Structure 1
Amino acid sequence: MILPAKFVRTALLTVAVSAVCVVGASAASVGAGTVNTDALRLREEANSSSTILATASKGDVVVILEEESNGWYKVDYKSVEGYMSADYLDVSTKADVTIGYGLVETDGSPLNVRSGPGTDYSKVTSLNDGAVVTIVGIDNGWYKVKTSGGSVGYVSSDYMVTCKDSAGSRGDGTVVAASSSLGQQIVDYAAQFLGTPYVYGGNGPNSFDCSGFTSYVYRHFGYTLNRTATGQLSNGVSVSKSELQPGDLVFFKSGGSKPVSHVGIYVGGGQFIHASTNTYEVRYDNLTSGYYNNVYVYARRVL
């Protein structure tokens, strides 16, 4: 995810990254918010009727990007920006918990890693522009990070954006190598809806149709799919049946004039999970033999 526009940083930048430069980064983090309810929706705008971008579970930690306004916080959840109700977040300026990956954006300058959350602390190491590290905490607008070499320290959140994986995929539509770990997370999350009723037009979480199910599951991880099975043929990139990985979308055609009539999520081992129109519930089925093997037509990789 690429967060807002480029602008020039002056005095602070000379201390934090060695020289004045132009960077593209999000607003500095204010702190961390811990979800205190079973499920909390991330909204596109600061109101309860706007589009749902993802759903966080109890105990999940989000990055607070702006102070509370009219009962809402602007947050970053798994590298997706949106708004969450302040009523369901326990907010602190400090948290020691892994919240994902961070991508250094300094327009070419090195970024100093400090031993503490401030420029008065000693330098531990430095990071090149474009480096990706694991974010393991937040402290008063600074990210606590762990580098690939094992060093732990603090960097100003002004010069880092969150990203979806260690390869630096930022959720902006750029196609990168699939993350098998993220694919497995998607499969595991989808499994919690086993037995949920199939209802035509259902968008979840209490009922789904086939594309409503895939859309809902992917949205939880910050990916927006087209709403219909046919529309989802335009999401991601094509993969062959022999190359399927957990999390890939699988498509079927059992008749009609449209290119596909059904969609599910591959889980591995020749199985997929879907909102079935045969048993009218979310269930697993076999992709390599029987009915669905015969009507299988395409697969797409979104991750």
Structure 2
Amino acid sequence: MIRPAKLLRTAFLTVALSAVCVVAASAASLGVGTVNTDALRLRAEASTSSTILATASKGDTVVIMENAGNGWYKVNYNTIEGYMSGGYLNVTATANVTIGYGKVDVGNTVLNVRSGPGTGYSKVTSLSDGTVVSIVGISNGWYKITTSGGVTGYVSSEYMDICKSSAGSRGETTSTSTTTSSSMGQQVVNYALSFLGTPYVYGGNGPSCFDCSGFTNYVYRHFGYILNRGASSQLQNGTPVSKSDLQPGDIVFFRYNTSYPASHCGIYIGNGQFVHASTNKYQVQISQLTSGHYANVYLTARRIL
């Protein structure tokens, strides 16, 4: 997820890529929404016919990312980004409520923590890129956070990615049950399949175009897992899993005649198939894993969930 402030910081790169790939942006957090109905579905798109990603219960809170129009909000619910109907949310710009964890995303610099929600407040401390903190509130586009050292303050939501935990933010496994992991894996697959036909472009980070690791990275970031960039680097994420034990959502890797540890990657969807940003038809497509070309160059798999 790339926010407006980050687009400004990467202006030259955006211009260079604009001819082949449109980079998505989203506004800073608007606030907190509280579910006011018995059950509210989180959708992949702002439509009641769209894929259901999760279901929130009455009293659950979501982070409002932006107003999607036509009565819908783009939200983050338990680190899953999607859309909810605004008619079933009580929205406020300021709330003291535990949201979860956030990972600092500022590049090669530091993020100042302020005593209040704005740059006019005094600096309390600073956080290096990649630091994970607890998010305990929202105030007018700023997150109220608590560091591992017990320091409380405010940071701009533009520079914070919501994630599961310090382990989950690196794409490592967490202590969830097999059933929960399997269910989440199917959600990952459903979201990945929504991009079928999206063009392959080398260096593409989505959502209008992808390369192979850009695709896996984008899909998992949607669920709060931040993976490394590049197929070889993603070999360091998650835990190894045997080919005979593959589950939907596992990342599968391939190696051609190259010196790199891995050449290509995709997401296993079950039944001996995987979805990936392919240079075969230069688009996101489904391919066979257990027969043909990819069976011959299969390398390994990693479980992220």
Give the Cα–Cα distance (whole angstroms) in 1 for the partners of residues 63 and 130 of structure 2.
Answer: 21
Aligned-partner residue type, residue 64 of structure 1 = I
Alignment of 1:260-279 (within 5 A): none
Give the Cα–Cα distance (whole angstroms) in 2 for the partners of residues 36 and 224 of structure 1.
Answer: 29
Residue of 181, 184, 187 corresponding to 1:218: 184
TM-score in terms of structure 1 length: 0.55
C-alpha distance 3-52 of structure 1, shift in aligned 2 (>3 A): farther
Deviation at 1:146, TM superposition (A): 0.7
SS in 2 for 1:8: helix
Aligned-partner residue type, residue 33 of structure 2 = G
Is the contact between residue 103 and residue 169 of structure 2 (CA under 8 Å) also seen in structure 1?
no
Partner of 1:47: 47
TM-score in terms of structure 2 length: 0.55
In the alignment, does 2:173 pair up with 1:178? yes
Aligned-partner residue type, residue 127 of structure 2 = L
Is the contact between residue 41 and residue 52 of structure 1 (CA under 8 Å) also seen in structure 2?
yes
C-alpha distance 56-224 of structure 1, shift in aligned 2 (>3 A): farther
Partner of 1:112: 112
Is the contact between residue 51 and residue 190 of structure 2 (CA under 8 Å) also seen in structure 1?
no
Deviation at 1:153, TM superposition (A): 0.6
Give the Cα–Cα distance (whole angstroms) in 2 for the partners of residues 226 and 128 of structure 1.
Answer: 31
Partner of 1:82: 82
Q: For the aligned residues, what is the CA RMSD?
A: 3.9
Unaligned runs of 5+ in 1: 11-23, 171-175, 191-213, 228-234, 241-247, 250-258, 262-298
Is the contact between residue 172 and residue 239 of structure 2 (CA under 8 Å) also seen in structure 1?
no
- Which of these two proteins has the greater Rg computed from alpha carbons? 1
C-alpha distance 168-177 of structure 1, shift in aligned 2 (>3 A): closer
Alignment of 1:284-295 (within 5 A): none
C-alpha distance 8-168 of structure 1, shift in aligned 2 (>3 A): farther
Is the contact between residue 101 and residue 135 of structure 2 (CA under 8 Å) also seen in structure 1?
yes
In the alignment, does 2:131 pair up with 1:136? no
Give the Cα–Cα distance (whole angstroms) in 2 for the partners of residues 91 and 219 of structure 1.
Answer: 30
Give the Cα–Cα distance (whole angstroms) in 2 for the partners of residues 140 and 102 of structure 1.
Answer: 17
In the alignment, does 2:90 pair up with 1:124? no
Aligned-partner residue type, residue 131 of structure 1 = T
Aligned-partner residue type, residue 218 of structure 1 = M
SS in 2 for 1:41: strand
SS in 1 for 2:169: coil
C-alpha distance 219-94 of structure 1, shift in aligned 2 (>3 A): farther
Percent of residue pairs bearing the same amino acid type: 60
Partner of 1:148: 148
Deviation at 1:224, TM superposition (A): 3.6
C-alpha distance 161-260 of structure 1, shift in aligned 2 (>3 A): closer
Give the Cα–Cα distance (whole angstroms) in 2 for the partners of residues 62 and 137 of structure 1.
Answer: 11
C-alpha distance 260-223 of structure 1, shift in aligned 2 (>3 A): closer
Is the contact between residue 137 and residue 145 of structure 1 (CA under 8 Å) also seen in structure 2?
yes
Unaligned runs of 5+ in 2: 11-23, 193-219, 221-237, 243-248, 251-269, 273-300
Deviation at 1:78, TM superposition (A): 2.3
Deviation at 1:54, TM superposition (A): 1.7
SS in 2 for 1:158: helix
Deviation at 1:51, TM superposition (A): 1.1
Aligned-partner residue type, residue 173 of structure 2 = A
* Residues 117-153 of structure 1, C-alpha deviations (whole Å, 9 max, x = no match): 1111111111011111111111110000111111011
Aligned-partner residue type, residue 116 of structure 2 = G
Aligned-partner residue type, residue 104 of structure 1 = V
Alignment of 1:195-210 (within 5 A): none
* Residues 235-259 of structure 1, C-alpha deviations (whole Å, 9 max, x = no match): 986548xxxxxxx99xxxxxxxxx9
C-alpha distance 26-132 of structure 1, shift in aligned 2 (>3 A): farther
Aligned-partner residue type, residue 93 of structure 1 = A
Is the contact between residue 103 and residue 133 of structure 2 (CA under 8 Å) also seen in structure 1?
yes
Is the contact between residue 143 and residue 156 of structure 1 (CA under 8 Å) also seen in structure 2?
yes
Give the Cα–Cα distance (whole angstroms) in 2 for the partners of residues 135 and 67 of structure 1.
Answer: 21
Q: State the number of aligned residues.
A: 199
